[in-house]
Chain A
Amino acid sequence: MPLVGAAAAPHSHLQLFTRPAEDDDYKRLVQKGRDAMFVLREQVERSGADTILVIHDDHFVNFDFRCYPPFAIFVGKEASGSGVTSPAEIQKITGAVYREYEGKSEYASAPSGIPQHMAAWEKQKPYVYNVDVDLSTKLLKGLMERGFDLPFTTDGTMDGEHVLTMNFLNPRADKNLVLFYTNGYVPPLPWPRRCYALGEAIRDIAEASSQKIFVFATGGMSHYPGTPLYGHVDEDFDARILDMLAKGDGADLSKFTPDDLMNHGNGELVNWIIAAGMIGNRPAKVVDYIRLWHIGLGYIYWEL
């Protein structure tokens, strides 16, 4: 049975950032989030996974207003990215190793002033991952056969928050990746019922694979970046979602509309819903939920 584990957790850069003036209480909350990620790392290691199937909403690095698909899969051999802060700092916090290049001391992904996790100027990236090309190709072909018209991308640039999740869960970069992209913040989002069905289809295809696969959905939970609601967190809605997943009612997530998710600050839940479709009605274990100033951070896993 190739699905050997699953988890969902935030990709928020706040898990690696505490600025000097933030007080001890705040730093304690941030550490709780990091500790939750380390619990998920343990789940990845225990599962014996060869491949991590990462479901992530692109932050205008691979896709933008020229073309923004509801779902896409990366089909290249290698994926890479820069971190949300310096590799040395990330290594101190997570233990994540990184590739060093002769003559290169600065690993910012773009010139100063450009959002680092949004840009792809530099080609010599510190975080480099092998891709399970066999599985990504099988998924592309298999999903199209099942009626999901799936775009593919060959760029392979991971945004800084995408990299953050692997800094925590795949620190030695020794697990292969499959990168599955979604639209989590550019309405109209894909419908939750379609996301759940996609998860079911991915599971069917993955079960024919010989690799041991750990599914990881990034993102969430409630937050409203760039809007007049930034700083508001819909903690009640987050609690409701975590309760549903803890009871094994992941299929009920498919009843939401895209506007429901967005209005509760949870567009990125599309990633979690795909994972829920892969897992079915197994109860999830909720590791923690932490409210930081602009976001609710929820951490869960499923044992398979």
Chain B
Amino acid sequence: MKDPAEILRPFVSEARHLASPLNMIASDMIRDRSLVQKLDEHPDHFTQNYGLKSEELAALRARDLPQLFQLGLHPFLLVRFAGMMGILEYWQALGAPGRGGWPRNS
């Protein structure tokens, strides 16, 4: 396995979540589910109201969880965002060890 510090660098040592508008968007989405629909139907809402860069918007619209982690979406909010997008086992998309050989729930 790669060094955990290297894997976690965007989150731990670089703390990219501090400057990323992705976290306010995800926080607002939890409270206002209409934003989930706006992501697909009115993406300009996010560039206009949150100062989102094009690669950030693209990652949200593509539900690109590895890229969102790299861009600074906080892990707690990444899990919530994934859930709102219907992605229940988010760790698979992140390439995480996940459940490994542990028994699965149905």
Interface, chain A (partner B; CB < 8 A): 19-23, 25-26, 59-60, 64-66, 113-115, 118-119, 185-188, 224-232, 234, 259, 262-265, 292-294
Q: A22-B105, A225-B79, A227-B75 are in contact. Are A64 and B5 (CB under 8 A)?
A: no
Bound complex: CA of A172 vs CA of B11, how far in Å? 40
Q: Are B98 and A230 in contact (CB under 8 A)?
A: yes
Q: Are B74 and A228 in contact (CB under 8 A)?
A: no
Q: A65-B23, A226-B79, A227-B11 are in contact. Are A264 and B84 (CB under 8 A)?
A: no
Q: Select which of A66, A225, A227 is within 8 A of B69 by beta carbon.
A: A227
A117 vs chain B, min Cβ distance (A): 11
> 9 A-B residue contacts at CB 8 Å?
A64-B27, A115-B30, A187-B12, A225-B75, A227-B7, A231-B99, A232-B1, A232-B97, A294-B99
Give the interface size bracket for B toward A. Answer: 35 or more
Mask: chain B, 1-43; 1 = CB below 8 Å from A; 0 = not: 1001101100111010100000110010010010000000000
Q: A22-B105, A113-B84, A226-B78 are in contact. Are A263 and B98 (CB under 8 A)?
A: no
Q: Are A231 and B76 in contact (CB under 8 A)?
A: no
User: A226-B76, A262-B8 given. 10 additional CB < 8 A pairs?
Assistant: A20-B105, A59-B76, A65-B17, A115-B83, A227-B11, A230-B97, A262-B11, A265-B4, A292-B102, A293-B102
Bound complex: CA of A226 vs CA of B24, how far in Å? 17
CB neighbours of B100 from chain A (8 A): 231, 293
Residues 76 to 102 of chain B near chain A (Cβ within 8 Å): 76-80, 83-84, 90-91, 94-100, 102
Q: Are A231 and B83 in contact (CB under 8 A)?
A: no
Q: Are A228 and B7 in contact (CB under 8 A)?
A: yes
B65 vs chain A, min Cβ distance (A): 9
Q: Are B75 and A226 in contact (CB under 8 A)?
A: yes
Bound complex: CA of A137 vs CA of B39, how far in Å? 45
Q: Select which of B8, B30, B95, B106 is within 8 A of A118 by beta carbon.
A: B30
Q: Select which of B8, B33, B77, B78 is within 8 A of A229 by beta carbon.
A: B8
Q: Are B83 and A65 in contact (CB under 8 A)?
A: no
Bound complex: CA of A64 vs CA of B31, how far in Å? 13
Q: Are A230 and B4 in contact (CB under 8 A)?
A: no
Q: Select which of A64, A226, A292 is within 8 A of B90 by beta carbon.
A: A226
Bound complex: CA of A160 vs CA of B66, how far in Å? 28
Q: Are A65 and B66 in contact (CB under 8 A)?
A: no
Q: Are A19 and B7 in contact (CB under 8 A)?
A: no
Q: Are B91 and A186 in contact (CB under 8 A)?
A: no
CB neighbours of B7 from chain A (8 A): 227-229
Q: Are B30 and A119 in contact (CB under 8 A)?
A: yes
Q: A23-B103, A26-B103, A65-B23 are in contact. Are A187 and B15 (CB under 8 A)?
A: yes
Q: Are B74 and A19 in contact (CB under 8 A)?
A: no
CB neighbours of A21 from chain B (8 A): 103-106
Q: Select which of B30, B83, B99 is within 8 A of A293 by beta carbon.
A: B99
Q: A230-B97, A293-B99 are in contact. Are A65 and B106 (CB under 8 A)?
A: no
CB neighbours of A185 from chain B (8 A): 75-76
CB neighbours of B102 from chain A (8 A): 26, 292-293
CB neighbours of B76 from chain A (8 A): 59-60, 118, 185, 225-226
